[in-house]
Amino acid sequence: MKVIVISLNLCNLINTSILYIMGNKQTSLTEKGTEAEDLCRMNAFGPDRPSNNLPSKNHTSEMEPKSSGADEFDDFGPDFDECFPLLFQALVDFDLILPLKETKSYCDDKSQDIRLRKKRLYQFMGSVKQNLLPRINDEIEALLPEWKSLRKIDEEHVCVHTLGVVYCVMQDPEFRKLNRREQNILKWSALLHDIRKQGPPVFEGKDHMHPFKGAMSVLEIFLRFKTFQIQSEDQLEALANVKKYMDLSKQPVPTSWSKHFKKGVKYCTEMHSHKYLSDVFSNLEKIVPRSSFTHLVFRLVLFHQSLCGCDDYPNMINLEPHERISYCQDTDGAFYKLMRVLMYNDAHSYIFVMDEHGNREVFRRQIFGHVEEYCMESL
Ligand SMILES: [Fe+2]
């Protein structure tokens, strides 16, 4: 029997899978299943915490009122609150741990000098780094080693932003109307939406590839957690194809954009296209059913910068109407219902402490308005 090197990420898993498919026809699926199990064991959980022990049922909390319908689903996914009890508690105690109320009231007071108000805002962000991140970093990294890499980007600013998005999502009145499965999906999506985002010191400015890279990480993470499993040769091939078509989606940023680059500054020079989406999704749906937990988190991360959001901050590339109809419309409307809350709070997280230009309502009206129009689209 061939010795198969156990890999620690999806890329290597796919390479291993291809090796299996191409050159090891004698290997049984049982042996291949063992590889996947070894992969899961050797990843975030370690031998004492097998991935199939991940909490998958929700518990009640004071912060999140019970909604009807939660138990109707058998595809709840790993329970966010039980996976991250310290993070969950920190989000409940957010304004006890952090000087949120004082900072907001100071920053909203326009009689104060703008420089002083901005200084207080930066102090608040420093407080998130000093008082909040140390409480939860180890817990998140134990399940998501990707978080460790994210902490190295922009002096933890992406992590501060991410926690702001999760907090704002959970405070949103629309979040409270969702059933518990939808809330769980939204919390995971908020935590993971920028998980592969790059920035200083890698490069300056915007990262146009991170939604696609992040969506691949969603598959890596939930495969590791055994939220879904690869159970056949066809599924192994489909997984390799998802990765292949996601990689092929890279393209250079347009010259109209790159001509604004300053000399001597390193920028993100690639962006995704949408031209392989039908290949990505036809393969993905051989592995995870449409509208399942993983399918929804994958789409929310993948498309969080592919739909019109705030008019003053346009995306590099948006989905075309026929693409939105194919990939965003669900029979129960779940994707758009969750996406509008994610997109709004992605933007809102930058202004929830200090909203100098009164954009809270503007952003909400624009984002919810665009999504409402998308919901009405038909061929
Ligand atoms: Fe974000």
Residues 25 and 153 in one domain: no
Residues 170 and 313 in one domain: yes
Residues 71 and 33 in one domain: no
d(CA 100, CA 127): 10
d(CA 137, CA 120): 24
CA of 348 to the centre of ligand 1 (A): 10
Q: What's the gap between Cα 179 and its chain centre?
A: 20
Q: Read out DSSP for 147-209? A: HHHHHTGGGGHHHHHHHHHHHHHHH-HHHHTS-HHHHHHHHHHHHHTTTT---TTT-BS--SS
Whether 120 is covered by a domain: the verdict is no
Whether 121 is covered by a domain: the verdict is no
Whether 264 is covered by a domain: the verdict is yes
CA of 37 to the centre of ligand 1 (A): 32
315, 319, 310: which is closest to 347 by C-alpha?
310
Amino acid identity, residue 86? L
Whether 273 is covered by a domain: the verdict is yes
Strands (E), 177-331: 250-252, 270-272
CA of 191 to the centre of ligand 1 (A): 9
Residues 19 and 157 in one domain: no
Residues 178 and 246 in one domain: yes
Residues 83 and 30 in one domain: no
CB of 220 closer than 8 Å to CB of 144: no
Residues 167 and 32 in one domain: no
Residues 240 and 328 in one domain: yes
Whether 107 is covered by a domain: the verdict is no
Whether 127 is covered by a domain: the verdict is no
d(CA 329, CA 378): 10
CA of 220 to the centre of ligand 1 (A): 20
Residues 319 and 173 in one domain: yes
CB of 195 closer than 8 Å to CB of 310: no
pLDDT tens digits for the chain (379 residues)?
Answer: 333 333 335 545 454 444 333 333 333 333 333 333 443 333 333 223 334 457 765 443 333 333 334 444 469 999 999 999 999 999 999 999 999 999 999 999 999 999 999 999 999 999 999 999 999 999 999 999 999 999 999 999 999 999 999 999 999 999 999 999 999 999 999 999 999 999 999 999 889 999 999 999 999 999 999 999 999 999 999 999 999 999 999 999 988 888 888 999 999 999 999 999 999 999 999 999 999 999 999 999 999 999 999 999 999 999 999 999 999 999 999 999 999 999 999 999 999 999 999 999 999 999 999 999 999 998 6
Whether 182 is covered by a domain: the verdict is yes
Give the environment of ion ligand 1: residues with CB less than 5 A: 194, 346
Q: What's the gap between Cα 2 and its chain centre?
A: 37
How far, CA to CA in Å, does 177 sit from each of 172, 331, 374?
Answer: 9, 18, 21
Q: What range does the domain containing 11 cover?
A: 1-53
Whether 26 is covered by a domain: the verdict is yes
**Overall domain count for the chain:** 2
d(CA 181, CA 67): 9
Residues 139 and 48 in one domain: no
For the whole model, what pTM was predicted? 0.84
CA of 159 to the centre of ligand 1 (A): 10
Residues 153 and 43 in one domain: no
